[in-house]
Amino acid sequence: MNVSDLVDAAVAADSKLTKAQAKAVIDGVFAGVAAAAAKGEEVSIPGFGKFKVQAKPARTGRNPATGGTIEIAASKKVSFAPAKQLKDAVNK
């Protein structure tokens, strides 16, 4: 499912919404999650789940082509933990 499919589903669920309005809402939610993640904040959407930023420490890795060791820099990643309601809906 992509953004266009989400827009179509939102319009089908609420006939008062236009496709442009639904796309604006969906884009706004994604922009809000991205902005919060950029600040290192956790985003919790009740009934859906939590997005949070986790630090990945620097580590030593291997170059698969040469077998030599390389240093992998520290970085951050965004993780998602689904809410119980979402887990239950998927496992129905």
- What is the average pLDDT score of the chain? 93
pTM (two decimals): 0.74
Task: Provide the pLDDT confidence category of residue 71 given band limits of 50, 70 and 90.
Answer: very high
Q: Which domains does the chain have, with CATH numbers?
A: 1-39 (no CATH), 45-91 (4.10.520.10)
Please give the pLDDT value at position 15: 77
Distance of CA 41 to the CA centre of its chain: 13
Beta-carbon contacts of 74 under 8 Å, excluding residues fewer than 6 positions away, are 55, 56, 57, 58
| Alpha-carbon separation of residue 14 from 8, 9, 19, 75 (angstroms) | 10, 9, 10, 41
Tens digit of pLDDT for each residue in 12-38? Answer: 888 788 899 999 999 999 999 999 999
